[in-house]
Structure 1
Amino acid sequence: MRLKGPVPDAESPWNEIVPGLFMGGHHCRGSGGEPVPVVVGREFDVVVSLHRRDGCGPGDGVAHHCREVPDGPLSAGQITAVRELAEIVADDVREGRRVLVRCRSGYNRSGLVIVQALVELGYPVEDAIFLVRYRRSRWALNNQLFVDYLTTGLGVAELLVGLDEVSDDA
C-alpha cells in the first residue's frame, strides 16, 4: 500500500515498537521540516542497519549488524539476509537487549525486519504490521512488495523469488 503523495521524513529518530525493539532511520525531520542526520551513540545494545551512512554510529561497544538491502524487489539471498537479521533481532529482544533496526528513512526495510522479528516472537503478521504502522508512522511499510513478502511468509517468498531467478538464468 504505497500512500499517495510525497513521503515525509519521520518525526523522530526512532520509535519503540514493543519493549526493547526500536525502529528508526538515518535521518528524521528537523524542527523546520528539513532532514537532519540521526547519529546513534550508545543508546542501544544492538543496532541493525539496512543502509550504510558514514558518521551515523553506532558508538563503540555496540553490536552492529549491517547488510545493504534495497527498498525494492529483493533477491532470494537478500530475503535470506532479512530472515537471518530478524532471527538475531528476536533473539536479542528475548535476551532483554535494547535493539534498534534502521534503514534510510526508517519506514520500509527496517519495517520488513521488525515485522519478521515480531513474527519470530509469536505475533501474527497482520498484528505486527499494524504495530509498526501505529508506533512508527502510517508511512511505515508503504512498499507493498514488502507487505506481500511478509503476508506470504518470507520463507515462501524466498523460494518463489529463487525459482524466478533460476528461470531468468535459463
Structure 2
Amino acid sequence: MKTRQRNPDVPEPDEPWSEISPGLWMGGHYWTDGTGRLQPAVAGDEFDLVISLFTRTGHGPHPAVQHLITELPDGPLTAGQIHSIQELARTAAHALRDGRTVLVRCHSGYNRSGLVTAQSLIELGYTSDAAIRLIRQRRSPRALNNETFEQYLTTGLHVAHLLSGLDTLG
C-alpha cells in the first residue's frame, strides 16, 4: 500500500515534532535541519504513548513505550480505516486525560498525524475548526493540507465513517 502522497511544494518540517496542546505532540519520521538536510526523527522514551501512522525501522520508540501502529494512506480512507482513526483518537484522549504524553506521527507530521491529532482534540472538547486552527498554528500552516482529511474532520468522522461504509453495501 502506498501510504504517502508526494507534494514537492510542501517542504519537510523544520522540527521533528511540535506540542499541539499540553502533552499532545504531533510529528513525523523526518524533518529538515537548519542546513536544509533531511534528518530522521527518532522517538526514544520522551513520550508515554506513540501512535505511528507510518513506520520505519530505527525510528523508535524505546521498547518500554506503548506503541500503536496503524499504517494509513495519505488519501481517501475506507470505513475501516476511519474507524481505526476514531479508536486511536479515543486512546490518545484517554491517555492525555490520565496525564500521559502522546506523540502522533506519520512521515512528515502534516496530514495523517494531523487527522488523528485533530480528532483527539475533538474528543477532548474542541470543535473541528478550532482543532484544525490549533494544529496549523502549532505545527505548521502546511498541516492538514490534504483536503479530504480536512473534510472528514469538518463533516465529522462518524458521518465520514457512515458515508464511506456505503461503498461496501450492495
TM over 0.5: yes
**TM-score (normalised: structure 2):** 0.94
State the Cα deviation string for residues 110-145 of structure 1 (Å, max 9, x = none).
000000000000011100000000000000000000
Correspondent of 2:27 among 24, 31, 37: 24
Please name the residue that 1:123 is paired with.
Answer: 126
- What are the ranges of 5 or more consecutive residues in structure 1 without an aligned counterpart? none
Counterpart code for 1:94? R
Percentage identity across aligned positions? 55
Correspondent of 2:94 among 88, 91, 96: 91
- Measure, in 1, the Cα distance between the counterparts of 2:38 and 2:145: 19
- Measure, in 2, the Cα distance between the counterparts of 1:159 and 1:73: 14
Please name the residue that 1:147 is paired with.
Answer: 150
SS at the partner of 1:23? strand
Q: Does 1:137 pair with 2:146?
A: no
- Measure, in 1, the Cα distance between the counterparts of 2:166 and 2:134: 32
| Structure 1 residue 35 displacement after superposition | 1.3
SS at the partner of 1:72? coil
- What are the ranges of 5 or more consecutive residues in structure 2 without an aligned counterpart? 1-6
| Structure 1 residue 165 displacement after superposition | 3.2
Please name the residue that 1:13 is paired with.
Answer: 16
| Structure 1 residue 17 displacement after superposition | 0.3
| Structure 1 residue 5 displacement after superposition | 6.3
| Structure 1 residue 88 displacement after superposition | 0.2
Please name the residue that 2:3 is paired with.
Answer: none
Counterpart code for 2:32? R
SS at the partner of 1:139? coil
Over the aligned positions, Cα root-mean-square deviation in angstroms equals 1.1
Query: After TM superposition, what 4+ stretches of structure 1 lie above 2 angstroms from structure 2?
Result: none
Counterpart code for 1:142? N
